[in-house]
């Protein structure tokens, strides 16, 4: 699957966003090691803080289906510059992603910026700090 194909899936996933408060739709497409794709959208809440971002929706869907090995993520929103993940999502990514795994940030104009978690969240806090192994129990 190409980066553009994965981004197209993120743009499609965005259509399912539940955003009555911000009206800001985000989509994510997470590719696993077997070639399966997990889609995610943001899901907002009247109490605001329970809102789940598109990236976390995709990651939690995959993990809850028993998948923890990922090879790429695409995120899309209707932004001038390709959208960048929030800090909470970056921390969740740090739990499961290889720091060098490609992360594609995009917008509806077709721009795609390739980055990594190493760039988005250097010196991240992980299971290593807890001394409890790799955090993959
Ligand atoms: N949001 C995402 O889903 N992903 C991001 O990368 C940035 C922010 C959502 C959360 C909220 O529903 C809306 O965008 C506005 O912050």
Provide mean pLDDT across the span 49-61: 98
**What is the per-residue pLDDT for 135?**
56
Question: Is pLDDT at 70 greater than 80 in this prediction?
Answer: yes
Nearest CA to ligand 1 atom 14: 24
Contact indicator for 55, 92 with CB cutoff of 8 Å: yes
Beta strands 103-107; 70-77: pairing state: parallel
Q: Give how far the C-alpha of residue 57 lies from the chain's centroid of Cα atoms, to the nearest Å.
A: 8
Length of the chain (residues): 137
Q: For residue 29, give the DSSP letter.
A: E
Q: Is the CB of 88 under 6 A from ligand 1?
A: no
76-87 pLDDT, tens digit per residue, is: 999 999 999 999
Q: Is the CB of 6 under 6 A from ligand 1?
A: no
Question: Is pLDDT at 134 greater than 80 in this prediction?
Answer: no
H or E stretch covering 75? strand 70-77
Q: Which two tokens stand for residue 7?
A: 């981004």
Atom of ligand 1 nearest to the CA of 25: 14
Nearest CA to ligand 1 atom 3: 53
Q: Considering 55, 69, 119, 134, which one is annotated as catalytic?
A: 55
pTM to 2 decimal places: 0.96
Contact indicator for 64, 88 with CB cutoff of 8 Å: no
Q: Which two tokens stand for residue 101?
A: 């795994």
H or E stretch covering 106? strand 103-107
Q: Is the CB of 21 under 6 A from ligand 1?
A: no
């Amino acid at each position: 699957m190409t980066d553009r194909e994965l981004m197209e899936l993120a743009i499609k996933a965005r259509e399912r966003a539940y955003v009555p408060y911000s009206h800001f739709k985000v989509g994510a497409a997470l590719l696993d090691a077997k070639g399966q794709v997990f889609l995610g959208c943001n899901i907002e809440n009247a109490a605001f803080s329970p809102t789940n971002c598109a990236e976390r929706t995709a990651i939690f869907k995959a993990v809850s289906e028993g998948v923890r090995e990922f090879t790429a993520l695409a995120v899309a929103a209707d932004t001038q510059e390709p959208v960048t993940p929030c800090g909470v999502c970056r921390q969740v990514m740090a739990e499961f992603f290889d720091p060098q795994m490609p992360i594609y940030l995009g917008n509806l104009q077709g721009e795609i910026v390739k980055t990594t978690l190493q760039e988005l969240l250097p010196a991240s806090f992980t299971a290593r700090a807890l001394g409890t192994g790799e955090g993959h129990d």
